[in-house]
Amino acid sequence: MLTLDYIHLSIVEQIGYITLNRPEVLNALDEKMVNELQEAFTYLEKQPTIRLIIVQGAGGKAFAAGADIKALEKRTPLDGLTLGMQHVYTQIEQSAKVTIAVINGFALGGGCELALACDIRIATEKAKFGLPELNLGVLPGAGGTQRLTRIIGKGRALDLILTGRIVSGEEAQQMGLATYYCTETKLEQKMHEITEAILKKSPIAVQLTKQAVHHGFDVDMQTAQWIEKLSISLLFGTEDKAEGTRAFIEKRPANFTNQ
């Protein structure tokens, strides 16, 4: 298993866990941590048995409080062009695995943007979401201006970014920024429900669905539907499709094999 300084990595059956582990600065992301995040993701991507990746924060207070502001202070315009945060988050968004961010504390700036790059966000009553970059004279530069807009709409995204206001987990869920909201005591149960529901599905169908949604989102409708058509055509040829439809007819649970 890969060992890193700021990221703790673990695997339980088909689920990989990435824990942002720099609690003394509320898991603020500096360059080393972003590089390690990429290493951890790349490692899990290569494990064929892993189907889900859960991203969470250590320390009980934060998912991540954003890019490391002490490092940010020293950034030059050329750093802005070359730093990897935006690129790493895109890699996470395009992962073949299903990604879930668990937000049980601050998810600010680059921390919120990391959560936005995941497929599903679960927030608790301790969650605090926000994009306070404008307070620092910068802007959400790790995909935030684009992903937030696509997820909650232009008006709401502009409000959050321009005011920098912090929203609770409950409000985040109401505006579609968080996918689920639950109390911290129910978190394990909620995570179990969601992961079990996904793990029961055909792995190849899950993977192609995720790719169809992501790749179809930023192209015109005709191209997007063509991606969808090709994806379902591929699934028509799988053993999992034969098994899924047969299981329904025989009134039994399907036993998918990713074939």
| Contact footprint for ligand CO8 (CB under 6 A) | 25-26, 28, 65-70, 72, 80, 83, 85, 106, 108-110, 132-133, 136, 138, 140-142
SS3 78: helix
Least distance in angstroms from the C-beta of 32 to ligand CO8? 13
Closer of 72 and 208 to ligand CO8 (Cβ):
72
Residue 53, φ and ψ in degrees, nearest 5: -125, 125
Torsion region of 157: left, alpha or beta (phi above 0 gives left; psi -120 to 50 gives alpha):
alpha
Please name the residues in contact with 77: beta carbons below 8 A apart, sequence gap of 6 or more. Answer: none
CB of 140: closest distance to ligand CO8 in angstroms? 6
Q: One of 39, 133, 196, 239 is an active-site residue; which one?
A: 133
Minimum Å gap between C-beta 120 and ligand CO8 is 22
**Is 113 an active-site residue?**
yes
**193 has catalytic annotation:** no
- Find the shortest distance in angstroms from Cβ 176 to ligand CO8: 21
Residue 235 host element (H or E): helix 221-236
Contacts within 8 Å (CB) and 24+ apart, 192-196: 194/100, 194/120, 194/122, 195/15, 195/52, 195/54, 195/100
Q: Name the residue nearer to ligand CO8 (CB basis): 86 or 195.
A: 86
Distance, in Å, from the CA atom of 120 to the CA atom of 140, rounded to the nearest integer, reads: 20
Comparing every residue's Cβ against ligand CO8, the nearest one is 109
Q: Which is nearer to ligand CO8, 142 or 212 (CB)?
A: 142
- Which residues, in sequence order, are bridge partners of residue 107? 64, 129
**Nearer of residues 118 and 204 to ligand CO8, judged by Cβ:** 118
Considering the candidates 24, 113, 196, 250, report the single residue annotated as catalytic: 113
Q: Looking at the annotation, which residues are catalytic?
A: 113, 133
